[in-house]
Amino acid sequence: MSERLLVEGMVLSAMPIGEYDKRIMILTRERGLISAFIRGARRPNSPNLAAANPFAYGTFEIYEGRSSYTVSKTDIKEYFRELTQDLEMVYYGFYFLEIAEYYAQENMDERQRLKLLYLTLKVMEKKVLSLSLIKFIYEFKTLVINGEYPNVYTCQVCGKKEDLHAFSMKHRGLVCDSCREKEGGEVLQSSSIYTMQYIVSTPVEKLYTFKLSEGVQSELIELMRIYRKRYFTHVFKSEEFLEKSMW
């Protein structure tokens, strides 16, 4: 018998296996992204019936098999029930889960990603920030956690720290006024620049603590849309769905 382990994390996706079982992807604090088998999870009387679904957050007792983990017991603390009962929120939620699953890796420290995901779903349920702003913040912070994000502190051409008023798609970050004249770049509102700096430097716990004017918000959302289109070729299925639905 292999040793049993306790991991804390969130179910990102679930796939039916055979008649009664499921395979789930769990983003864990201890082991990064893992794939685990839950025997009998689709039987109506299974104690793991609800735990084997996306958004379930809690503790999972697992043991390691030859090629995969098997879940033996679950203790779910949070199902995000309010979120899963709202169609618009649930689509956004699935998109956030899909992003986390795409970038997370097994046996890597994914604690920041897990925390970001958890707090993002929590803030959605509070309904104080618009879903499109939450989406922008989540996408940007995901790039920061991945370690591949636009430079928003220095000019990408000359390295200067002053006179930064424009963003260059070509140079993947801010450019100063004189470099913009030569290299091009789109002038942004100063709040847009400050917001990006805030997202880069602020811990996940304090991320969702600001609101933006409509103008700044749409400027940032558009910038992120173009940036992702240019530098990230992966298409997220749930995002395509989100865009087709006319919210």
Single residue of 97, 176, 196, 216 touching Zn ion by CB under 5 A: 176
Stretch that binds Zn ion, among 41-49, 93-101, 168-176, 239-247 (CB under 5 A): 168-176
CA distance 78 to 246: 29
By beta-carbon proximity to Zn ion, the closer residue of 36 and 179 is 179
The least distance separating Zn ion from the CB of residue 147, rounded to whole angstroms, comes to 24
CA distance 220 to 133: 9
By beta-carbon proximity to Zn ion, the closer residue of 123 and 175 is 175
Single residue of 144, 157, 196, 204 touching Zn ion by CB under 5 A: 157
Phi first, then psi: what are they for 74, rounded to 5°? Answer: -135, 150
The least distance separating Zn ion from the CB of residue 184, rounded to whole angstroms, comes to 12
User: 230 CB contacts (<8 Å, ≥6 apart)?
Assistant: 169
Does residue number 179 form part of the binding site for Zn ion (CB under 5 A)? yes
Stretch that binds Zn ion, among 93-101, 127-135, 172-180, 219-227 (CB under 5 A): 172-180
By beta-carbon proximity to Zn ion, the closer residue of 160 and 228 is 160
C-beta of residue 111 within 8 angstroms of C-beta of residue 25? no
User: 184 CB contacts (<8 Å, ≥6 apart)?
Assistant: 168, 170
The least distance separating Zn ion from the CB of residue 174, rounded to whole angstroms, comes to 9
**Residue 23, CA distances (Å) to 16, 35, 104 in order:** 6, 7, 17
The least distance separating Zn ion from the CB of residue 227, rounded to whole angstroms, comes to 19
The CA radius of gyration of the chain, in Å to the nearest whole number, is 20
Residues 112-141 touching Zn ion, rule: CB under 5 A, are: none
User: 169 CB contacts (<8 Å, ≥6 apart)?
Assistant: 186, 226, 227, 230
By beta-carbon proximity to Zn ion, the closer residue of 116 and 152 is 152
Stretch that binds Zn ion, among 4-12, 15-23, 135-143, 169-177 (CB under 5 A): 169-177
Q: Specify the residue for token string 């309010």.
A: 82
Does residue number 166 form part of the binding site for Zn ion (CB under 5 A)? no
Does residue number 155 form part of the binding site for Zn ion (CB under 5 A)? yes
Tokens read off for 101: 């699953």
One-letter amino acid identity for 191? S
Stretch that binds Zn ion, among 3-11, 45-53, 95-103, 160-168 (CB under 5 A): 160-168
Q: Backbone dihedral region of 171: left (phi > 0), alpha (psi from -120 to 50 degrees) or beta?
A: alpha
Single residue of 15, 128, 158, 187 touching Zn ion by CB under 5 A: 158
Q: Specify the residue for token string 């090629």.
A: 67
Single residue of 29, 111, 115, 160 touching Zn ion by CB under 5 A: 160
The residues that touch Zn ion, with contacts defined as CB under 5 A, are 155, 157-158, 160, 176, 179
